[in-house]
Amino acid sequence: MSASIEMPVLNNHDDGHPIYLDYSATTPVDPRVAEKMIPYITEHFGNPASRSHPYGWTAEKAVENAREEVAKLVGADPREIVWTSGATESNNLAIKGAANFYSAKGKHIITVQTEHKAVIDAVRELERQGYEATYLQPEPNGLIDLEKFKAAIRPDTVLASVMFVNNEIGVIQDITAIGNICRANNVIFHVDAAQATGKVKIDLETLPVDLMSFCAHKTYGPKGIGALYVRRKPRIRIEAQMHGGGHERGMRSGTLATHQIVGMGEAFRIAREEMDTENERIRFLRDKLLHGLQEIEEVYVNGDLEHRVPHNLNISFNYVEGESLIMAVKGIAVSSGSACTSASLEPSYVLRALGRSDELAHSSIRFSIGRFTTEEDIDYTIKLMKSKIGKLRELSPLWEMFQDGVDISKVEWAAH
Amino acid sequence: MAYSDKVLDHYENPRNVGSLDKNDPQVGTGMVGAPACGDVMKLMIKVNDDGIIEDAKFKTYGCGSAIASSSLVTEWLKGRTIDEAYAIKNSEIAEELALPPVKIHCSVLAEDAIKAAVADIKAKQAAKESA
């Protein structure tokens, strides 16, 4: 196929267009994926549920091929894949669907403080419906202590939800070990794997996981499409959250978005074929960025460095205030630990859960590297950060005090 | 957050960054704010025998508006008497920099820093006279 779709420029250093280093927020659609999607918007527009004519058959075939590709990347049976609109819907469907279906077994749910809001808020909703929840605090490195997890299980625990790869700090939880604990205690185990596909090997044939959420747009597919893995052996049942025409074996009604599904299938196929070489390249870039930034004094990596995807580097720059830091790094598109709202700076709840001080949480930057990041981008970023951090610290009375050997935590500050 | 051109100018090119000798009897220091609140301003003024501010330096840990507020007041302070300095109001700073309502506290902090620096130099002068 001729490449009529070209990659947009994500790394022009001179035209005021920031370098994209926010792949954990979303990824551009790979041109190969976009190419494959287009005929299913115009030409093969049929409804995959139409059984009476070739328009429908063509669409259905494309959907099933994509289902197979998604299943292949994660070692599942295609019949275990349910299409959704994205990871948020998959998380809601898994958590509410399983908790509702198995509510006779118990009404206690275990999750982790550092989960994505789509998990935390789904669990909060169940709390409003009368369920009880335990939000485990991870260790300072972001990983769960298995003994603490075990201790949180009660006789009425029905479901546990733990993410595979954390979106802010990139740490990889020990899903096998946590799943084995769930199995031993007859607890349904849901895993949000939105940030894991194409980054870590996932084999659901061996992983003790019952439900797993996926989305396309973190893996170079389109936004608005995701999937939920629902184990068949032993069979896990969920209550539908979306009612209608009985699509997806009744678990998720709604006309299938053929072009989006085709895009997700192609994105996951590419991920399966290229992830090994891609991850090696990304690890090289990450190490280069890490070493470059570590030449700056008083920087702290947030989250475990070993049990971590190479795509993510989350770093706090001490003695630099968060909002001025955001202003300083306009040349790169990154995400900050401070969500700068109109009224105040809210430090990241994930970094807070790791026990980071407000100041360190505020002064954090998440760099996330991806398929189209170049070595030149990394060089530029290191240079930019060195000069901007240096400039802001020159302005910082706290940095001056630190240089003079003053312990800032012991200073009595006048509150204002 | 949209910043005014004046805030951006002071943020990009802060005036009078630095420190003076805090042990100099002619230097008054004001340090206000707290790291946990996200702003710390340190303002130093050097006052000559006629009570005129000859030099002013600042260092600020804080957002762009906090940096701009303190940078601006160092420009304003030079050449003023300490009584004139004491009379500077936060509303003048906020107006000059076109600060949005959520950033008014930055101008308040800058006014507090001036008052703290003036109080420090007055205390030093009083100690000198009684000595």
Q: Specify the pLDDT at position A341.
A: 46
Q: Specify the pLDDT at position A343.
A: 46
Q: To 5 degrees, how large is the angle CA A351–CA A356–CA A362?
A: 70
Q: B125 to chain A nearest CA, in Å?
A: 24
Q: What is the mean pLDDT of residues B83-105?
A: 95
Q: Is the pLDDT of residue B91 over 70?
A: yes
Q: Please indicate whether, in this complex, the C-beta atoms of A324 and B62 are within 8 angstroms of each other.
A: yes
Candidate list B18, B19, B37, B38, residue with the active-site label: B37
Q: Please indicate whether, in this complex, the C-beta atoms of A342 and B35 are within 8 angstroms of each other.
A: no
The span from the CA of A158 to the CA of A188, in Å, is 6
Cα B1 to Cα A142, A301, A344: the distances in Å are 31, 27, 11
**Tokens at residue B78, please?**
């030079």
Spell out which residues of chain B touch residue A324, defining contact as CB-CB under 8 Å: 11, 62-64, 66-67
Query: Which H, E and C letters describe A187-228, residue by residue?
Result: CEEEEECCCCCCCCCCCCCCCCCCEEEEECCCCCCCCCCEEE
Which residue from A327, A399, A416 is facing B34, i.e. has the nearest CB?
A416
Which residue from A395, A398, A416 is facing B37, i.e. has the nearest CB?
A416
Instruction: Tell me the pLDDT band of A97, cut-offs 50, 70 and 90.
Output: very high
The b/e string for A41-76 (b: 16+ C-beta within 10 A; e otherwise) is eeebebebeeeeeeeeebbbebbebbbbbbbebbeb
Instruction: Tell me the pLDDT band of A12, cut-offs 50, 70 and 90.
Output: low
pLDDT in tens, A300-322: 999 999 999 999 999 999 999 98
Q: Please indicate whether, in this complex, the C-beta atoms of A398 and B61 are within 8 angstroms of each other.
A: yes
Q: What is the mean pLDDT of residues A98-123?
A: 97
The three-state secondary structure class of A68 is: helix
**Tokens at residue B111, please?**
């006014």
Q: B20 to chain A nearest CA, in Å?
A: 13
Rounded to the nearest angstrom, the gap between the alpha carbon of residue B36 and the centroid of all alpha carbons in its chain is 20
Instruction: Tell me which residue has tokens 């009897």.
Output: B25
Is the pTM here over 0.90, yes or no? Answer: yes
Which residue from B31, B64, B109 is facing A327, i.e. has the nearest CB?
B64
pLDDT in tens, A370-380: 999 999 999 99
Q: Is the pLDDT of residue A109 over 70?
A: yes
Q: A352 to chain B nearest CA, in Å?
A: 13
pLDDT in tens, A163-212: 999 999 999 999 999 999 999 999 999 999 999 999 999 999 999 999 99
The span from the CA of B130 to the CA of A335, in Å, is 56
Hey, is the C-beta of B36 within 8 angstroms of any chain A C-beta?
yes
Hey, is the C-beta of B117 within 8 angstroms of any chain A C-beta?
no
Which residue from A342, A394, A398 is facing B40, i.e. has the nearest CB?
A398
Q: Is the pLDDT of residue A396 over 80?
A: yes
The three-state secondary structure class of A27 is: coil
Q: Please indicate whether, in this complex, the C-beta atoms of B64 and A415 are within 8 angstroms of each other.
A: no
Strands A132-136 and B39-47 turn out to be unpaired
Closest alpha carbon within chain B to A400: B59
ipTM: 0.93
Q: Please indicate whether, in this complex, the C-beta atoms of B14 and A320 are within 8 angstroms of each other.
A: no
Cα A54 to Cα A46, A248, A259, A260, A262: the distances in Å are 8, 20, 17, 20, 17
Beta bridge partners, A347, equal: A338
Q: Are B77 and B116 in contact (CB under 8 A)?
A: no
Q: A367 to chain B nearest CA, in Å?
A: 21
Q: Specify the pLDDT at position A338.
A: 64
Q: Are A321 and B38 in contact (CB under 8 A)?
A: yes
Which residue from B31, B64, B108 is facing A324, i.e. has the nearest CB?
B64
The CA dihedral of B64, B66, B72, B74, to the nearest 10 degrees, is -130
**Tokens at residue A155, please?**
């006789």
Hey, is the C-beta of A339 within 8 angstroms of any chain B C-beta?
no
Q: Please indicate whether, in this complex, the C-beta atoms of B35 and A408 are within 8 angstroms of each other.
A: yes
The span from the CA of A186 to the CA of B48, in Å, is 79
Q: Is the pLDDT of residue A342 over 50?
A: no
Residue type for A88, please? T
Q: Which residues contact A284 (CB under 8 A, 6 or more apart)?
A: none
Spell out which residues of chain A touch residue B109, defining contact as CB-CB under 8 Å: 416
Instruction: Tell me the pLDDT band of A6, cut-offs 50, 70 and 90.
Output: confident
Hey, is the C-beta of B52 within 8 angstroms of any chain A C-beta?
no
Q: Please indicate whether, in this complex, the C-beta atoms of A395 and B105 are within 8 angstroms of each other.
A: no
Q: Please indicate whether, in this complex, the C-beta atoms of A397 and B37 are within 8 angstroms of each other.
A: no
Residue of B23, B57, B63 to mutate, testing the A interface (most A Cβ within 10 Å of its Cβ): B63
Q: Is the pLDDT of residue A339 over 70?
A: no
